[in-house]
Amino acid sequence: MSVATQLTSQDLPPSAEKACSNRIESGVISEIAAGHFARHLRRTRQLYRERRSVLVEALRKELGGSLEVLGEQAGVHLVARLKVRRSDREVVLEAARQGVWTMPLSACYLGRPTSQGLVLGYGGSNASAIPAAVRRLRDVLEPRRES
């Protein structure tokens, strides 16, 4: 066994762990007291609100006939229930091939899924990139039919 795998937090003197914790705690308290954390939260909320708004608008414009948007009021994820009769797992796989990363709603059920849909995360997305991603998702859900 290497030294790294043998050493655990139990091997450290209690004072070392407490000193580190106290320094971190002190730094966090200073940031909060100076108002930095509140500013960070305001900026983050505004950023997520903008991203969520862009996503909801794009989904309704491009996929209103195929998806029903749920849970749009807050958070960094949306649920979109499929209106079309397709497996959400198949949709997720095809969307991934198009560079759109989402999660099947059916994976969130403990028992038998009662709905098919997508869990769409937007927290790490650029607002300007969202409409194009939704169009790629539209191409998965509503492929163009050739005559």
The pTM is what? 0.73
- The answer to whether position 35 is within a domain reads no
User: How many domains are contained in the chain?
Assistant: 1
pLDDT tens-digit readout, 83-129: 988 999 999 999 999 999 999 999 999 999 999 999 999 888 899 99
- The answer to whether position 15 is within a domain reads no
- The answer to whether position 107 is within a domain reads yes
Residue 87's domain comprises 47-141
- Candidates 56, 58, 129, 51; CA nearest to 43 is 51
pLDDT tens-digit readout, 116-130: 999 999 888 899 999
Residue 120 is part of a domain; what is its CATH number?
Answer: 3.90.1150.10
- Candidates 44, 132, 72, 108; CA nearest to 36 is 44
- The answer to whether position 100 is within a domain reads yes
Rg (CA), the chain: 22
- The answer to whether position 105 is within a domain reads yes
Separation in Å, CA 31 to CA 44, 68, 122: 16, 41, 27
Q: Which residues pair with 103 in a beta bridge?
A: 119
